[in-house]
Structure 1
């Protein structure tokens, strides 16, 4: 069932329930009022007949004739008068005697002074009447035909109005829900036309502040992220293709040249060495891409454990120096370590070693003296690391894009690279809920600062 139909039915049900409640209150109030008003009429009629019988000394035949004459045109009240010994003194119509008084009834009326009750649809009033120091029992009974007729008319009219109200409310609810959901339908039609080829399309929210506009703005935000993701993916594939095609083309060219003509051993060695360097570039690119993929995993899928930062730094240092024997890397501790939790974090050892190795390699690669120094300190909440070099530095234009995947700045002519290392390092730091910043001046040096939460 569509939400529009559900809202219409719910709106109708709630409104009809309220109307039904009001109708029930009105009906039962009218019923109660009719009953009490008719009891009052019976009581007055009983007292009037008793006054005529006892005080005015109107004879019984005259009173009975009045009753019979009135009964032809109206529902006359039937009155009976008894003494306390259950002796009948007067009755409007003994032959009818609808009430059928009993000794127990008379005793009850005398004891209570006044009673009201029903006999079928007839209402009956019994009351104690005093005259010249003696007590008498007077009963009055009648059928309220006029009152019941009005009550039935009220019930019938209420049901008719209720039925018409249901139809009207349902139609109004249907039209109202259609108007309310019109923006949703427009959004649905618009979204159905959005695909990977036209992610630039956006929903028209009309700058309103209602919930529909918030939904549209949220969806537009999602489309912005999707569009950026698609663009990044296209650029990513394009960059990878370029990075792979260049060394592969060089390898193929070198090998074809070596095969096409006879050369001396030195030329063959040169061709093999060049091809080997290009193959190593491809291997480094593949490893970087694998590490980038690992750093992009859901954090819940990456194994974290307690590790010491100094040990990971030492491993990264040995790894970089083993691959590049001319690189000089030093570690400086700026504080004495009293508690190993001061330099311990909850992290992934492999990924952190990749990040530190990238920073070491980056510092040495772009320094003429091939040197990078890591400074280790800590405070009550974080491990603070600084990777400093005295290299060629980074221009102000490149600093804004230095963490963008595959971005190569103005210094790309100084050393080889694929533009993945620093973007991978930032992903790893963010994955560990840390922060990375960079300060650099051309021809002066570069400092990368890392803040990682420790176990204190």
Structure 2
């Protein structure tokens, strides 16, 4: 069932229930009021008859019957019966009808003083009259023809109004539901035309005030991220192909050189040395690409445990200095930790060590004095590690793109590297739900800061 139809039906059921409730309340309230009003009229009739019969000596039973039959307030099928203390009928307003009554009703009237009940379709009132030394029971009954007729008319009017109201509600519900959901239909139509080839297409965002416009805005944001992901994928494939092609071409050239003519052992040694260098470069690049792909995995697949950031820094420093003895690493605290857990974070030690190793290596590589300065700082929520240098630095345009895979600044072209390391660092820190930022100025150096929440 379509949402438009479901909304219209639900709205119609709610309105129909409300209308039905109001109709029932009106009908039964009116019926109760009409019934009580008719009972009051019967009580007045019974009291008047008893008063004439007892208090007015000039009126006998025959004259009282004439008065009852010709009064303007006479009711349809009206009967008035008066009984004395011995349940003897002393007055009846009709002579040509067989009068039925139960003696138990007379006893009930004497006990309750006033009784309202039914006699077939007629309403009946019983009153106990105690005046002038006489104790009488008066029964008055009649058929409320006018009231019944009004109730029938009211019932038919309410039924037709209810049916008309329900029909009008269904029609208007379908119309307005369709009008309200039409933008969603338009969005569906626009979405159906978006494919991998035209991810630049965007949905109409309207005035951005209602929920449907916000849905279009959010969907456009998703498309923007998808487009960026596709663009990064294409860029990644293009740069990876280019980077892989360079050492492979060098390998092929060296092999062709060795096969072109017979060489002496020293020349073969030079070719093998070049082949080994190109192979190492190819292996390093392949490992970097594989590691970059692995960092795209979900954080749930990466084991996390408490990690002391000082230990990670020292491990990364020792590993870098063992490979590059000419590098210098200066490590210190910006502020003393206030507790033992101030520098403890939840993470993967190997991955965090790779981040710091890469940042230290870059700082030493791009600095004339090959020195990296590492500082650790803590606050109430996080632990921050900054790695700074006084090297070539970057301009603002480069700092915005430095974490893109294979991106290298113009000033770094003369240094070894593939432009993958910082991208890997960013992915690792994102997996740890942290943040990595950079501050840099040309020829003044750079500072990379890693911020992680501590335990």
Q: Matched residues in 1 for 2:338 and 2:140: separation?
A: 106
The answer (yes or no) to whether the contact 2:384–2:451 under 8 Å persists in 1 is yes
Kindly tell me: are residues 30 and 390 of structure 1, through their superposed partners in 2, closer, same or farther at Cα, counting changes over 3 Å? closer
Higher mean C-alpha displacement, 16-25 vs 232-241: 232-241
Q: Is the 8 A contact 1:16 1:166 kept in 2?
A: yes
CA 1:379/1:187 → structure 2, altered by over 3 Å: closer, same or farther? closer
* Paired position in structure 2 for 1:319: 319
CA 335–163 in structure 1, closer or farther in 2 if over 3 Å, else same: closer
Q: Tell me the distance in 1 between the aligned counterparts of 2:437 and 2:181.
A: 48
Q: Retained in 1: the 8 A contact 2:75–2:144? A: no
Gaps of 5+ in 2: none
Tell me which residue corresponds to 2:87. 86
- Aligned residues, how many? 453
* Conservation of the 8 A alpha-carbon contact between 1:67 and 1:76: no
Question: For the residues of structure 2 that align with 1:107 and 1:444, how far apart are their CA atoms?
Answer: 116
Kindly provide the CA deviation profile for residues 238-266 of structure 1, in whole angstroms up to 9, marking residues without a partner as x: 11111111211221222122212222222
Alignment correspondent of 1:296: 296
Q: 1:100 to 1:25 in 2, by over 3 A?
A: same
- 2:91 alignment partner, SS class: strand
What residue number does 1:307 align with? 307
Report the Cα distance in structure 2 between the residues aligned to 1:38 and 1:224, rounded to whole angstroms: 77
Residue 60 of structure 1 is matched in structure 2 by 61
Contact kept, 8 Å, 2:75 with 2:143, in 1: the verdict is no
Q: Which residue of 1 aligns with 2:165?
A: 165
CA contact 1:395–1:410 (8 Å) conserved in 2: no
Matched, 1:204 2:204: yes
Q: Contact between 1:114 and 1:125, CA under 8 Å: does it hold in 2?
A: yes
Kindly report which structure 2 residues correspond to 1:26-175, keeping only aligned pairs within 5 A, or say none: 26-54=26-54, 55=56, 57-64=58-65, 75-93=76-94, 96-102=97-103, 104-175=104-175
Which stretch has the larger CA shift, 409-418 or 262-271?
A: 262-271
Residues in 1 aligned to 2:399 and 2:316: alpha-carbon distance in whole angstroms: 25
- Cα distance, 1:434–1:12 mapped onto 2, change above 3 Å: closer
2: CA distance, partners of 1:363 / 1:322? 16
Task: Decide whether the 8 Å contact of 1:19 with 1:162 is kept in 2.
Answer: yes
CA contact (8 A) 1:84 1:106 kept: no
Taking structure 1 as reference, are residues 89 and 185 closer, same or farther at Cα in structure 2, changes over 3 Å only? Answer: same
**Deviations 1:96-138, CA, capped at 9 Å, x for gaps:** 3454141x32233233322211123211111123453322221
Describe the SS at the equivalent of 2:367: coil
Residue 216 of structure 2: aligned partner: 216
Q: How far apart, in 2, do the equivalents of 1:330 and 1:130 lie?
A: 118
CA distance in 2, matches of 1:312, 1:449: 15
Alignment of 1:246-257 (within 5 A): 246-257=246-257
State how far apart, in whole Å, the 1-side matches of 2:200 and 2:99 are.
89
- Give distance in 2, aligned partners of 1:339 and 1:69: 108
Unaligned runs of 5+ in 1: none
Structure 1 residue 208: Cα displacement? 4.3
**Could you tell me whether the CA contact under 8 Å between 2:337 and 2:378 is conserved in 1?**
no
How has the CA–CA distance of structure 1 residues 143 and 11 changed in structure 2, closer, same or farther, with 3 Å as cutoff? same
Decide whether the 8 Å contact of 2:27 with 2:154 is kept in 1.
yes
Alpha carbon RMSD of aligned pairs, Å? 2.7
TM-score (norm 2): 0.90
**2:54 counterpart of 1:15:** no
2:410 aligned with 1:416: no
1:345 and 2:345 are equivalent in the alignment? yes
Q: Distance in 1 between matches of 2:39 and 2:362?
A: 105
Contact 1:99 1:141 in 2 (8 A): no
Quote the residue 1:275 is aligned against.
275
Task: Determine helix, strand or coil for the equivalent of 2:136.
Answer: strand
Q: CA deviation at 1:410?
A: 1.6
Q: CA deviation at 1:83?
A: 1.0
User: Is the Cα contact below 8 Å between 2:391 and 2:446 reproduced in 1?
Assistant: yes
1:363 corresponds to: 363
- CA distance in 2: counterparts of 1:190 and 1:337, whole angstroms: 56
Supply the distance in 1 between the matched residues of 2:28 and 2:378 (Cα, whole angstroms). 80
Work out the CA distance in 2 between the residues paired with 1:334 and 1:161.
81
Please identify, of 426-435 and 400-409, the stretch whose mean Cα deviation from structure 2 is larger. Answer: 426-435
Q: Distance in 1 between matches of 2:228 and 2:393?
A: 30
Change (3 A) 1:221 1:451: closer
8 Å contact from structure 2 (residues 344, 454) kept in 1: yes
1:322–1:169 CA distance, 2 compared to 1 (3 A) = same
Secondary structure at 2:77 match in 1: coil
Matching of residues 377-416 of structure 1 within 5 Å: 378=378, 381-416=381-416
Number of the residue aligned with 1:428: 428
**SS of corresponding position for 2:137:** strand
Secondary structure at the counterpart of residue 80 of structure 1: strand
Aligned mates of 2:397, 2:223 — CA distance in 1:
29
Equivalences for 1:173-184 in 2 at 5 Å? 173-184=173-184
Distance in 1 (alpha carbons) for counterparts of 2:193 and 2:382 = 49
CA–CA distance in structure 2, aligned partners of residues 59 and 338 of structure 1: 115
Post-superposition Cα deviations, 1:121-161, rounded to whole Å, max 9, x if no partner, equal 21111112345332222111112222212212221222222
